[in-house]
Amino acid sequence: MNRDFHFTHHQHWLVAGVRTPAFVLLAVLLLSTGCQPVLVPAPATSNPLTVRILFPGDSAALQMGQQTRLIAQVMDAQGAPVEGATVSIIVAGPDGQQLAHLQASGDAQGTYRSDTWTVPHHVTEGVWTLLVEADSAGSHGQQAGEFRVNNSTSETLLAKYGFWLDPPNLRDIHPSICAEQGDAQNGRLCWGGIIPALHILPANWVELEWRAGQFDLSSADAVRRFMLEEIGILGFSPVRELGPFERTTFKQWDAWRVGGRGQFSYEDVEWLIFYAPEVDKTYFIGTTVVLPPAGIDAHAALRASFDVDPAVAANGVASMPLARLLPAPELLDPPMGESFSGLDEPVMLRWQPVKELAPDEYYEVTVEYDYIEGMYTEKLATRETQLALPETFYRTPNCQAFDWHVTLNRQTGVSGEGQPIGEPVSYDSLMRYLIWDYPAGQRPVDWKSCPNAQF
């Protein structure tokens, strides 16, 4: 029976566990309407059914977009479970508007479950109501209940920032927000998650940034500058290279699709950059996937739900401000993957200057290397735009591959080892790696071989 279903808290007596006696219903009808009595016999209720709602209960809180099954139990007048009853469940929102009419199937224990039901999006959060009705062999029973529905993360983001994005949950990953900065005009969101596993962890991440106004996206070079100078933070993990740059269309917007190379070979990264004139914002959607489901374009799937709504008066402010830093240092030498052997010549790292340095500013060069199951990080400081890798790196057991990236910092203190401690003035550079190995036959025999997933 498809019908609108409206009831309020003060009307719950109409849907108690068993039917209200006819004389009570008649008395209430007379008191509420003032009409002359019309004797309409109530249906027989000598053997009423007892309906008990198991889920969701009064204390339950569901989220828009959440999938669930509604569960009830049906018993006869003697308290025995009823099998084979016809059970329907009607769900209504806070305003009483019917939002779902579900059928439930039972088992020998008298437990009835609906099919999987998704709490709809774009509805009113608050206290929702449900009515469960059961009929079997001329007997009837019903029970009303309440549960709470909260806004999903997608609804919250729409209200705060004016865009819609579904949760990034490929392979049933349970995503969480790892960064939320800025406000409705200029901001950043990092949202995603992983599946715990050995060595390579299936993952999906969305890095979404927005800037008020229209930026120059007229060429591949202009897009690259926008990414490095205006956005700065390109993804959940370090990025080695950008490209190729291809013009495309994303929904109604002219866009650029940018490929790239993550830190590890199993990381698949891609970016989409476009201007949305209806809200006068330029958007950057970065996606990172590891071991995605087969047979789909994982990047397209993660961003497919994105949309903007000009009708939403978004004025949200995140708890963290958006970091606005100088462009990252541009790395010069050595090229990606360059190989060095022995100690005859120093291994020199070089980069372009960001600016003329203030007295308290310096470049922080981060060098990372693996050995067996460990990853080691060393931070070096200099006011020059070049640095020689210390010989100690060469002699320390390692996998012969050294990652390096550079940031301009402002000194705020000194570590216990006498090294400067600082805060970033620029974004972090792209990451490169080099190979520094012993000449043939000279590598220490007790060093382990460790294939590296970075290349």
CATH number reported for the structural domain that contains residue 240 in this entry: 3.40.1000
Domain boundary among 150, 183, 218: 150
Q: Evaluate whether residue 158 is within a structural domain.
A: yes
- Number of structural domains, the chain? 3
What pLDDT, on the 0 to 100 scale, is given for residue 199?
A: 73
Same domain (yes/no): 18, 134: yes
Q: Evaluate whether residue 143 is within a structural domain.
A: yes
Same domain (yes/no): 157, 263: yes
Question: What would you report as the CA-atom Rg of the chain, rounded to the nearest whole angstrom?
Answer: 32
What pLDDT, on the 0 to 100 scale, is given for residue 454?
A: 62
Which residue, 173, 171, 167, is CA-closest to 193?
173
What pLDDT, on the 0 to 100 scale, is given for residue 447?
A: 75
What pLDDT, on the 0 to 100 scale, is given for residue 32?
A: 42
Same domain (yes/no): 295, 162: yes
Which residue, 238, 239, 177, 246, is CA-closest to 208?
177
**122 and 88 Cβ atoms separated by less than 8 Å:** no
What pLDDT, on the 0 to 100 scale, is given for residue 374?
A: 72
Domain boundary among 150, 169, 198: 150
Q: Evaluate whether residue 324 is within a structural domain.
A: no
Same domain (yes/no): 225, 364: no
CA 317/CA 9 separation, integer angstroms:
36
CA 282/CA 284 separation, integer angstroms:
7
Same domain (yes/no): 136, 168: no
CATH number reported for the structural domain that contains residue 374 in this entry: 2.60.40
Same domain (yes/no): 95, 160: no
Q: Evaluate whether residue 318 is within a structural domain.
A: no
Same domain (yes/no): 269, 340: no
Beta bridge partners of 81: 75
Beta bridge partners of 270: 259, 287
Beta bridge partners of 278: none
Same domain (yes/no): 300, 182: yes
Same domain (yes/no): 172, 109: no
Q: Evaluate whether residue 165 is within a structural domain.
A: yes
CATH number reported for the structural domain that contains residue 48 in this entry: 2.60.40.1930
Beta bridge partners of 142: 133
CA 433/CA 403 separation, integer angstroms:
4
Q: Evaluate whether residue 250 is within a structural domain.
A: yes
What pLDDT, on the 0 to 100 scale, is given for residue 418?
A: 87
What pLDDT, on the 0 to 100 scale, is given for residue 219?
A: 98
**290 and 203 Cβ atoms separated by less than 8 Å:** yes
CA 455/CA 451 separation, integer angstroms:
9
Question: Please, what sign has the CA dihedral across residues 196, 260, 398, 368?
Answer: negative
Please, where are the H alpha helices in 177-273? 220-225
Residue-number span of the structural domain to which 351 is assigned: 331-437
Beta bridge partners of 420: 414
Q: Evaluate whether residue 31 is within a structural domain.
A: yes
Same domain (yes/no): 211, 102: no
Determine the length of the chain: 455
Domain boundary among 150, 173, 195: 150
Which residue, 405, 437, 431, is CA-closest to 340?
437
Q: Within its chain, how far is the Cα of 54 from the centroid? A: 31
Same domain (yes/no): 185, 272: yes
Same domain (yes/no): 407, 363: yes
What pLDDT, on the 0 to 100 scale, is given for residue 37?
A: 38
Q: Evaluate whether residue 385 is within a structural domain.
A: yes
What pLDDT, on the 0 to 100 scale, is given for residue 46?
A: 55
Burial of 294 (0-12, 13-18, 19+ CB in 10 A): exposed
pLDDT along the chain (455 residues), means of 10: 39 37 36 39 64 96 96 96 97 96 97 97 96 96 97 97 97 95 98 87 96 98 97 93 98 97 94 98 98 96 97 96 96 96 95 97 95 83 97 89 96 91 97 92 76 61
